Amino acid sequence: MLQVDAKYGFTLAAGEPFLFEVQFKDGSNNVLDLSDREFVLSFYRANRTAEQKIDGEARSDVAGPRFEFVRDGSFSESLYANRNGTIELAERLKNGKSVIFQGKYTITESAPGVLSYGNTVIGRDGVRLVLVETVKGFQVTQSQYDYVAGNVVPEPDTTPDAFSITPVTGAARNTATDSAAFTITGIDTPASWTVAGGTAQVADGAFASSGTVSNGQAMRVRLNSSASYSTVAKATLTVGGVSADFSVTTAAAPVVTPSPTLSLSAPVTVSESNSGTTAFTWTLTLNRDGSTAAYPYSWAVAGSGANPANAADFGGTFPSGSGTFAAGETVKTITVLASGDTAVEPDDTFTLTVTAAGLNTVTSTGTIGNDDSTPVDPTLPTYTLSAQTTSAVSAMQAKGYTPAPAYQRFMDNQFKRLAASDKHTPVLTDLSQLWVAHPGDALTNLVSPGTLDPVKVGALTWTSPVAGLSVANPLGNVIGYSTGADTAYIDTTVGYGTLTPGDATFGFYKSYSPVGTVGDMGVADGTGGAFIVAQSNNNSSTFNARVFSAALGVTGTAADWHNTNWHAVRSGADGIAAWHNAKKVATKTGLGTVAPTNGALTIRQLMVNGFSGHSAAGHLAGFVAKKALTDPQMRTLYRVVRSWVEEVIWGSVNWYDPGFAPEKTNYDVICYGFTIQSVMAALEAKRQGLDVAMVGGWNETSRSHIGGMSANGLGEFDVDHPETVGGLMRTMIVRARAIDGATDTTLKFNPGSMNKVLRQALAQAGIPMYATGAMPTACSRSNGVFTLSIGDGRTFTSTFLEDNSYEGDAIALLPVPTIFGRQAAGTGTDALDGFRGSLSANGGNINQFATNPTGPGALWNIDPFIVPGDINSGPLPFVAGPMPNTPVGIADTKTQSFNFRQTWTNVKANQIPWDQFFNGVPPEGYSAANYEAIGRQAALMTAAGVTMALRECMKVSTLYKGKTDVNNQGGLSTDMMGSGTAYVAAGRSAAGRLQVLKNVRNYILGLIYYILYSGDARLPTSMVTALQAYGWPDDHYNEPGVNDIPNFPGCLYVREYNRMAGGIGGAFWTGNDATAADGQTPRVSARTVAAASYALDSHHMERYYIPINAADLSQGYKLWLEGNMFSAMGGANGWTPVPAEITMPDASVMPNLATAWSVAGNHVMFGTYRMEGCSGQTAQMHGLGMAVAKTRGVTLQDAMTTYYSDVVALAQATPDAVKPFIPATT
């Protein structure tokens, strides 16, 4: 009996071959050799019945495709129906083995000698395998597919013919080496094989140490060659008892010729001396590589880099020399002597080159560090601390705390504010005690150290604010002194009996307090019923006070107080007045007076002496005055203490007041201006290891000015796609937003919070900040050094100069061509440049006199004359006259109008009400006639059934914690028409600029006053009421500069001024560049520093009048604003890259000068570039470029172009969470 036996059966991946073997056996399970017989394998669909062939005849009643393979290797095909190409077929059938493709096929033995149909398993695409052909000498039984044995053949032969393996010679060492292929013959059944000392492969299969091989299959042997030269390695292959060796002989060892090389030690930087010489020393090393010969060499020095050394730096001749490496010698020393001098110059660089016959040339660089600086003008006074400050510092030192010099100078500033100035009412001499917490936790009476010093009693909790608030913990901080028991408090040591009823003031400043705590201060005189109590209750947000009074006054409402900041009470002629921050919340009279009965009791903080059960937290300051301070004194004291506390929390910037001798004069980098752009450049340059100083502009005289517009009203800068703002700019925005708990997806922030985080960063960096309060008088560059002189008598020198003042004042003093105003109209987007006239398209009708100023909205024809309809009466104030008969598109020097971006708040507890600010007094120069056009527009709207709203005059954008950013909106708003042009016309006159600044500020204050207090019946009550809900925030702008007013931002919004006429290679950016379609390489270059992402926009220049109908002048005239233009960004992505080349002049014009504000471009493009996110990131990239320039010894221009990839690499390595956004395509 014979059986068909499938030895392999399993599922394969697509396309993987499957070796299928058929064997014929006799009834004793012996395999028969039927190599002289024929048989055929056929493959059928599973949904067909098994087709059988009997005596070679096929059944005709079975349909379906059939594919046949014959054993002798030739392929034959037999089809009963259409061929199904999805069935993977065998490629060959030889010696009883067939290679077929994917599927699971098994044939198993169901009973001895029987092959059962039911055991056939379906494979891929439903293919199954059956045996359908008879074999000569055997008979097929239909029911069981039995086969009857015919002739029986002998047992199979597994002993192959003798074989040999060709050896390999000249092999590489320690390398896997394969033999040539050889064929196994003389077997009719697969034979087993093994390898000793290597592995083998059958028919291109995997290498293994054992396996089986069939007749006619090729094999290879692999072994690892020896690790030694000229060495034989051997492996032995045994197949079916027959063995052969494979030997591999490695190549002979090569003959090596020495290749000696030279190397020089690292570049050397040494500061020059004032005289004599300074040694620069290098180590020259010879790597002999087996050579023993002598090698002569020579060396020479030459100037190199952006500031190359010259012969004079070496005594008149560039040094050179020679030497010889004797046989066996490997190290030499080369010394170059540089001459000392006293000239102020940049660091000079030179290259040392060493050559030797037959050896490589090596170089290294030397940098002669400049150790000279411009002598400080001996006529400049040295800053000296006042006696008041010196006394306070000495008292702190006696208690173990030495304030840093920057903090000492800050203290001195505050004492000056308390003592006297033209802006601050003197209060210092009226204070008995003032203390402010500081990192040293040493209480000192600052106004009279050593007298009435406050004393800590009991186990007070002290939380130091020295680290400042942070992104990780910006809110809810309890810092300062806290208590949880009646036995722990601060004793002011001021006796209750030393105060006089009706003539005393006291209070405290505290940080955040948790619910359930109060902020207490005072004395409870229980024997006579007389109390002096100031209590801020966190639970009810109220303030209770009793000062020598018979009754307790509950002052204000919950809306008037919050549980932080300044709480003070005054007993004066007007009764008891309660103050929260700079606001007098309420005054109580008629409470009766009770004289003290136990005057020895002292006033306490964190509790009331005589009360129990209170728990106060977070006290940071306190004061006692033995007199009733006036309202102006109260506000001055509050602002000083608040500034002082915030300085302690956020750190002290290295600030220097105007007119005093600087700590030094020479720096790597001078950043001119205290704008946020300058801060970004300075912080990055400092972070990269450069020596940096900041020099303030003509009106930057206060720490409140640090950050420019971003810290002075502009909390909502224009950006359509926030993702375009990265780097340091975004880092600072995130920190500022964290202070106020901002969680939305915008980039808005409170300006005061931005000022805090910038001051914190600058304090940590230690960058000197020189306030000037004067115009720069001269700026030049000679011998690689910029010299910047200021009108306050100081002069500074630097290698790099970054001018980010809004006016471009330093650039204007250099021989760098600049432009201002509007350029002639071009084509495309640039058609918007030049004089706009009465055009209404492309933004000309935006911010006109409309119901909805941002459009679309009805335009109102406002009569422009003092006497309506009478042209002879003249135009209204701020109306320049009739529209000029000037061709549209012509170039002119007009500049868009300026304003102040104001900060308001609608939170009463944080608000200085308009009533207390104006106190019934209009601002300087106020006239209701200045705002007559507003009344006329309101009347027109009312007549048309439309109510004029506050939005027609002001854009009030919500920020955080009730703050707002108030900007121009509408034709009659906060932009003072003509102010930009007047400011530019003032030129370099500080007095002229200041007058424009004051005019704009008074114009805005007058606008507020007009709406609130003019009583103009044409103004809707709802408009007045809407404005009454706001006031100045008492936590902003408390450290006003010389020309500022408290709580009003100190920076005039200079929207546009000087711009460079050309950048690197004459690069000039236009409106068409800014509106290019997506996916293009920028026209100027792909070396970008930022991306602009806001519409191209300009505010109006002037207010004119035009005919209502030019064809019929009898219809009269109307007001019209000229200059507004507006164009959306090009492409769908909403941004365009800013090329580095427009941010600095060509090196041939002025090397190492850069600006992130006064860039090279026309008026149209500047409308999108000038936004703070874009220009701020540009400045950071300049700081990185300066680092690359110094490292490579090249100009800043070269760093930003030739070595731009270095700058990008540094940008990506900064610690900022969001890296600078610098796309290479539009």
Residue 1152 phi/psi, 5-degree rounding, is: 65, 20
208: three-class secondary structure by DSSP: strand
Residues of the chain within CATH 2.60.120.200 domain(s) are 430-468+476-630
Helix, strand, coil percentages for the chain (3-state, nearest 5): 20, 30, 50
Of the CATH numbers 2.60.120.200, 1.10.150.120, 1.10.760.10, 3.40.50.2030, which one belongs to the domain with range 430-468+476-630? 2.60.120.200
Q: With beta carbons less than 8 A apart as the criterion, state whether 1089 and 1139 touch.
A: yes
pTM: 0.77
Q: With beta carbons less than 8 A apart as the criterion, state whether 327 and 373 touch.
A: no
**The predicted structure's pLDDT at residue 76:** 38
C-alpha 546, offset from chain centre: 52
d(CA 135, CA 672): 103
d(CA 827, CA 821): 18
**The two three-digit tokens of residue 473, written as one number:** 């913990």
**The two three-digit tokens of residue 1174, written as one number:** 């874009």
* CA torsion angle 999 1052 1055 1003 (round to 10): -30
**The predicted structure's pLDDT at residue 6:** 33
Q: With beta carbons less than 8 A apart as the criterion, state whether 362 and 322 touch.
A: no
529: three-class secondary structure by DSSP: coil
**CA 465 to each of CA 45, 440, 470, 517, 649: distance values in angstroms, whole numbers, following the listed order:** 84, 10, 11, 20, 5
Work out the end-to-end distance of the chain between its first and last CA atoms, rounded to an integer number of angstroms: 83
CATH 2.60.40.2030 fits 261-369, yes or no: yes
Q: With beta carbons less than 8 A apart as the criterion, state whether 7 and 18 touch.
A: no
Helix intervals (H) in 742-836: 751-765, 809-812
Beta strands in 377-447, from DSSP E residues, in sequence order: 433-436
Q: Hey, how many other C-beta atoms are within 10 angstroms of the C-beta on 36?
A: 8
Location of structure tokens 């009643």: 61
Residues of the chain within CATH 3.50.50.60 domain(s) are 654-817+1061-1094+1129-1213
**The predicted structure's pLDDT at residue 889:** 96
Over the chain (1226 residues), what is each successive 10-residue block's mean pLDDT? 30 37 49 45 36 34 36 36 29 37 32 29 31 30 28 63 95 95 92 95 94 95 95 95 95 88 94 90 94 95 91 94 95 95 87 95 93 79 94 92 94 92 77 88 89 93 63 56 87 90 89 61 66 58 70 67 81 86 86 77 87 78 94 94 91 94 93 98 98 97 97 94 96 92 93 95 96 96 95 95 98 97 96 92 76 65 97 97 95 97 94 95 97 96 93 94 94 95 96 97 98 98 98 95 95 97 97 94 96 94 95 94 91 94 98 98 96 97 97 95 98 96 94
3-class SS letters over 714-739: CCCCCCCCHHHCCHHHHHHHHHHHHH
Alpha-carbon dihedral sign for residues 133, 138, 141, 146:
negative
Taking Cα atoms as reference points, which of 677, 719, 725 lies closest to residue 1221? Answer: 725
**The two three-digit tokens of residue 416, written as one number:** 């000056």
Cα three-residue angle 1154-1157-1163, rounded to 5 degrees: 120
d(CA 883, CA 864): 12
CATH 3.40.50 fits 168-250, yes or no: no
In sequence order, what are the residues at sequence separation of 6 or more whose Cβ sits closer than 8 angstroms to the Cβ of residue 1085?
1067, 1139, 1140, 1141, 1201
**The predicted structure's pLDDT at residue 467:** 46
Q: Hey, how many other C-beta atoms are within 10 angstroms of the C-beta on 130?
A: 17
**The predicted structure's pLDDT at residue 536:** 60
**The two three-digit tokens of residue 360, written as one number:** 């490589």
Residue 1181 phi/psi, 5-degree rounding, is: -60, -35
Helix intervals (H) in 818-931: 914-918
| DSSP-derived secondary structure for 355-370 | E-TTS--EEEEEEEE-
**The predicted structure's pLDDT at residue 155:** 57
**The predicted structure's pLDDT at residue 3:** 32
d(CA 840, CA 977): 18
**The two three-digit tokens of residue 831, written as one number:** 């058609």
- 73-82, Cβ contacts within 8 angstroms, sequence gap of 24 or more: 78/42
Q: In what order do the strands lie in the sheet with 954-958?
A: 911-913, 1031-1033, 902-905, 963-968, 954-958
**The predicted structure's pLDDT at residue 512:** 62
Alpha-carbon dihedral sign for residues 144, 150, 154, 160:
negative
d(CA 1226, CA 1074): 9
**The two three-digit tokens of residue 835, written as one number:** 């004089």
709: three-class secondary structure by DSSP: helix
Residues forming beta bridges with residue 285, ordered by sequence position: 263, 331
CATH assignment of 654-817+1061-1094+1129-1213?
A: 3.50.50.60
* Pairing status of strand 277-287 against strand 295-303: unpaired
**The predicted structure's pLDDT at residue 840:** 82
Helix intervals (H) in 861-955: 914-918, 932-943
Residues of the chain within CATH 2.60.40.2030 domain(s) are 261-369
d(CA 1075, CA 826): 14
Q: With beta carbons less than 8 A apart as the criterion, state whether 1119 and 849 touch.
A: yes
**Residues counted in the chain:** 1226
Amino acid present at 1040: P
**The predicted structure's pLDDT at residue 152:** 32
1057: three-class secondary structure by DSSP: coil
Q: With beta carbons less than 8 A apart as the criterion, state whether 1022 and 949 touch.
A: yes
In sequence order, what are the residues at sequence separation of 6 or more whose Cβ sits closer than 8 angstroms to the Cβ of residue 689?
1187
Location of structure tokens 């064809």: 1111
d(CA 507, CA 514): 20
d(CA 323, CA 296): 6
**CA 653 to each of CA 119, 774, 1047, 1180, 1186: distance values in angstroms, whole numbers, following the listed order:** 90, 20, 21, 20, 23
| DSSP-derived secondary structure for 636-673 | HHHHHHHHHHHHHHH---EEE-TTSPPS-SEEEEEEES
